[in-house]
Chains A and B, each alone.
Chain A
Amino acid sequence: AQSVTQLGSHVSVSEGALVLLRCNYSSSVPPYLFWYVQYPNQGLQLLLKYTSAATLVKGINGFEAEFKKSETSFHLTKPSAHMSDAAEYFCAVSNSGGSNYKLTFGKGTLLTVNP
């Protein structure tokens, strides 16, 4: 079984400040890891994914995440927050083995950006 824990259901930062959204996972096999963003009344949009290549993954809109196997973490960062980054962010894991189609999501972190 696999699971995802996102620490902090709500994170608030000032515009221009560092964004750090935390994600820890558990998986019995090497995982694939994803970060999705959801804007109000919209579907989920992929920010970035890790599929066992480089451990530092760069995504869209200036976001990046680092896979740390020893810490079972895949935290999302952005050096400087923009107002347009305000949204809900979801970390997800799937197996690299058998049931690799099934995404298991964290509960989400709502990011607020203050002017």
Chain B
Amino acid sequence: GAGVSQSPSNKVTEKGKDVELRCDPISGHTALYWYRQSLGQGLEFLIYFQGNSAPDKSGLPSDRFSAERTGGSVSTLTIQRTQQEDSAVYLCASSLGQGKNIQYFGAGTRLSVL
């Protein structure tokens, strides 16, 4: 079946612009996660959704970052007023549930802020 799909695969934007990154999880997966992968920081947890609610947003680096999930499926990560330090690969994952359930990852969106 289809895996986790992320779009766009690459995004180049100018400093100060807003960007939206999209994630389509595996059908039936109730849990969805966003991670950020950058050269300096490695892989960092950003946010976790169970259904449409986000019980843990603790990894969002600033209030410029927000995410939502609608219909228990597609999720959008929005970064407002982008800064150069936001340049990274943003990875989405989904799983059947939490804990020991396997998180399946998408290929990511590579964001470059000029």
Is the beta-carbon distance between A49 and B107 smaller than 8 angstroms? no
Given A43-B4, A102-B48, A104-B45: A96 touches B99 (CB 8 Å cut-off):
yes
- Taking residues whose C-beta sits less than 8 angstroms from the other chain, chain A's interface range is 20 to 34
A85-115 CB contact bits vs B (8 Å, 1 = yes)?
A: 0000010101010011111111110000000
* Beta-carbon nearest neighbor of A50 in chain B: B100
State the majority secondary structure of interface residues on B. Answer: strand
Q: Is A26 an interface residue (CB 8 A)?
A: no
Is the beta-carbon distance between A107 and B105 smaller than 8 angstroms? no
State the majority secondary structure of interface residues on A. Answer: loop
* Beta-carbon nearest neighbor of B102 in chain A: A46
Point out residues on A near B: beta carbons under 8 Å.
32, 36, 41-46, 49, 51, 90, 92, 94, 96, 99-108
Q: Is B31 an interface residue (CB 8 A)?
A: yes
Given A100-B99, A101-B98, A102-B56: A43 touches B42 (CB 8 Å cut-off):
no
